[in-house]
């Protein structure tokens, strides 16, 4: 048979262990504290158990359990200044302090509760990361003396209670952050969906109507789609429309421009990395494949993907698995891949710059987007759609597109395609003071200069493009990049403009002295 002191110590240890288990179950804080105090009450009978949290120079009653707990007590604020008991308790490290009626200082709940003379109170600090953030109190209507073993167990319980409260606080913050992020994701997906609906793919020309029909046919499948076409033709818009028409429309649409990312970063951007995978990887990070899980991943300018990364992309497409940098375990992903390029991938394969097996995996369902000069029927609809959006976003009255200007727009070859069209229209809309659109002088060549080799006396496409680019370089003083450079004015990427200049034998430096 155990000695009474040893038996009491073992009982106390068991009760504290049970209470500690309750504090780590992840319950809602009010229920967690109530259940834990219920177990503690079998070791230390009380009439009131509270949790007091620091708020400036006062303590707020955050939790109250027991016969003396009242709704009025909850959220009551207790001054610390002038109360020696509370001040000393807040300075204590871990050991609980006990008070009787003869102890100096004011009763903890003076003015809030009518406590009889001769009652007892036990107070223990609640600490986290070296700081005291509150107190735990146990009040009894009768005066009691507590043995050393009980004080020890109550101190352990207070430490576990502090841990449970902080865990509940962090879980609450995480839950709130998760709700906030979910709301943000929902908002941005709705914005993306609304943008697709408000700015639908313009399909006035037979060519674009055929493409829209292709999109409807392939959207319901999981087939990989390769969109080809010149820079600025609207390949991203086609990819967005495909995503919106598919069963994945409620899931993410994630885009990556393979040409805009440094070769040293693109693997991490696509496939993610674990903590410590490379210098500077202070934490794990999901790649675009994981972010697009369940949805669509749009890889723009796929022709610029480094050759050494192409086998990894091929594996991701074929096996539906990715290998984050530094990870020893692959991850399964469910992603619908849409790729786009303005380069000739067949030529890149022949030159050894692009893997043939990856090309065939990407081009399961190829869609070629014709340049704007080959579908002039779409120009008017594109212009009107852009002007509607411009007026809406800038809170301006509707901007009218005159018939004569529509003819002028349809008569231009648009070497920068839809991107250049929007660039010209935006400048014109800004400069148009009234509701009728006016093109600034020199914005476009004269109507009728569209390239058509079947028409005699009309400039060829190369000749017209050369004339346009010469004038553009002269106007920009040979400057290519930047907001005032030729690339921005033409609505082209600097690399695309430089490749066109090289093909035509034009050198920007020759225009810097002009």
pLDDT, averaged across the chain: 82
What percent of the chain stands above pLDDT 70? Answer: 85
- Minimum mean pLDDT range among 120-129, 266-275, 446-455, 504-513: 446-455
Q: How confident is the model at residue 431 (pLDDT cuts 50, 70, 90)?
A: confident
* pLDDT at position 458: 47
Q: What is the pLDDT of residue 13?
A: 65
Pairwise pLDDT comparison (388 vs 189), residue with the higher score? 388
pLDDT at 42 over 50: yes
In angstroms, the CA 355 to CA 346 distance is: 10
Question: Would you say 189 and 250 are in contact if contact means Cβ atoms under 8 Å apart?
Answer: yes
| 255 contacts: CB under 8 Å, gap ≥ 6 | 236, 239, 297, 298, 299, 300
Helix (H) or strand (E) holding 244, with range, is helix 235-245
What is the predicted pLDDT for the residue at 195?
Answer: 60
Query: What pTM value is reported for the model?
Result: 0.58
Q: Which residue has the higher pLDDT, 469 or 335?
A: 335
461 — pLDDT class (breaks 50, 70, 90): low
pLDDT band at 295; cut points 50, 70, 90: very high
Say which CATH class 4-173 falls into. alpha beta
d(CA 447, CA 411): 5
**pLDDT of the residue at 455:** 38
**What distances in angstroms separate CA 125 from CA 29, 57, 89, 425, one per listed residue?**
18, 16, 6, 69
User: Which CATH architecture fits 372-450?
Assistant: Orthogonal Bundle (1.10)
Question: And the tokens for 307?
Answer: 């050759």
* Cα–Cα distance for residue pair 354/7, rounded to 1 Å: 78
With beta carbons less than 8 A apart as the criterion, state whether 470 and 457 touch: no
- HSE at residue 101, side-chain half, CA atoms within 13 A, is 10
Can you tell me the mean pLDDT for 401-409?
Answer: 90
Question: Could you please report the per-residue DSSP string of 262-308?
Answer: -HHHHHHHHH-B-TTSSTT--S-B--HHHHTTTSEEEEETGGGS-GG
Each residue's pLDDT tens digit, 162-204:
888 888 888 888 888 888 777 777 666 666 666 655 556 778 8
Q: 199-370 in CATH: which number? A: 3.40.50.300
Backbone angles phi, psi at 378, to 5 degrees: -85, -15
Give pLDDT, residue 2.
Answer: 38
Say which residue the tokens 């300075």 belong to.
91
pLDDT digits (tens, 9 = 90+) for 124-176: 899 888 889 999 999 888 877 778 878 888 888 888 888 888 888 888 888 88
Highest mean pLDDT among 84-98, 275-289, 325-339: 325-339
Which 3-state string (H, E, C) describes 428-495?
A: HHHHCCCCECCCCCCCCCCCCCCCCCCCCCCCCHHHHHHHHHHHHHHHHCCCCCCCCCHHHHHCCCHH
Q: Report residue 341's pLDDT band, with 50, 70 and 90 as the boundaries.
A: very high
Give the span between the Cα atoms of 271 and 289, in whole angstroms.
Answer: 6
Mean pLDDT to the nearest integer, 489-494: 79
Is the model's pLDDT at 20 over the cut of 80? no
pLDDT band at 85; cut points 50, 70, 90: confident
The pLDDT assigned to 35 comes to 82
Residue 143, pLDDT score: 79
Cα–Cα–Cα angle for 66, 68, 70, nearest 5°? 100
User: pLDDT band for position 16 (50/70/90)?
Assistant: low
What mean pLDDT is predicted for residues 244-250? 91
């Amino acid at each position: 048979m155990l000695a009474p002191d040893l038996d009491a110590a073992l009982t106390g240890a068991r009760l504290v262990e049970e209470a500690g288990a309750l504090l780590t179950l992840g319950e809602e804080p009010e229920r967690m504290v109530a259940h834990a105090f219920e177990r503690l009450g079998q070791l230390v009978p009380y009439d009131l158990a509270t949790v007091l949290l620091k708020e400036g120079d006062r303590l707020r009653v955050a939790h109250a359990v027991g016969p003396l707990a009242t709704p009025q007590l909850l959220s009551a604020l207790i001054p610390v200044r002038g109360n020696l008991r509370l001040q000393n308790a807040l300075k204590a490290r871990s050991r609980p302090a006990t008070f009787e009626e003869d102890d100096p200082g004011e009763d903890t709940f003076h003015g809030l509760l009518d406590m009889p003379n001769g009652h007892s109170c036990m107070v223990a600090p609640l600490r986290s990361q070296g700081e005291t953030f509150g107190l735990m109190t146990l009040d009894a209507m009768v005066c009691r003396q507590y043995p050393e073993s009980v004080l020890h167990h109550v101190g352990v319980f207070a430490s576990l209670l502090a841990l449970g409260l902080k865990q509940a606080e962090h879980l609450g913050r995480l839950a709130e952050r998760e709700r906030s992020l979910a709301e943000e994701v929902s908002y941005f997906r709705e914005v993306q969906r609304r943008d697709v609906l408000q700015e639908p793919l313009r399909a006035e020309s037979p060519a674009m109507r055929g493409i829209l029909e292709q999109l409807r046919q392939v959207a319901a499948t999981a087939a990989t789609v390769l969109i080809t076409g010149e820079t600025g033709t609207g390949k991203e818009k086609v990819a967005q429309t495909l995503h919106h028409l598919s069963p994945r429309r409620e899931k993410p649409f994630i885009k990556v421009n393979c040409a805009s990312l440094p070769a040293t970063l693109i693997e991490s951007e696509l496939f993610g990395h674990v903590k410590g995978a490379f210098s500077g990887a202070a934490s794990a990070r999901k790649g675009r494949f994981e972010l697009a899980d369940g949805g669509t991943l749009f890889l723009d300018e796929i022709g610029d993907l480094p050759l050494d990364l192409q086998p990894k992309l091929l594996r991701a497409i074929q096996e539906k698995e990715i290998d984050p940098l530094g990870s020893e375990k692959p991850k399964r992903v469910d992603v619908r891949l849409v790729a786009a390029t303005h380069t000739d991938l067949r030529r890149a394969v022949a030159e050894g710059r692009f893997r043939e097996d990856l090309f065939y995996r990407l081009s399961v369902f190829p869609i070629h987007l014709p340049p704007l000069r080959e579908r002039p029927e779409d120009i008017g609809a594109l212009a009107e759609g852009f002007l509607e959006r411009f007026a809406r976003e800038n809170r301006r009255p509707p901007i009218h597109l005159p018939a004569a200007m529509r003819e002028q727009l349809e008569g231009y070859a648009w070497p920068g395609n839809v991107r250049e069209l929007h660039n010209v229209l935006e400048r014109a809309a800004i400069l148009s003071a009234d509701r009728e659109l006016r093109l600034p002088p020199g914005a476009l060549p004269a109507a009728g200069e569209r390239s058509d080799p079947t028409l005699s006396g009309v400039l060829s496409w190369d000749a017209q493009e050369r004339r346009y680019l010469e004038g553009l370089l002269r106007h920009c003083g040979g400057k290519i990049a930047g907001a005032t450079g030729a690339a921005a004015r033409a609505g082209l990427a600097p690399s695309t403009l430089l490749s066109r200049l090289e093909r035509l034998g034009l050198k920007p430096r020759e225009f810097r002295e002009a």
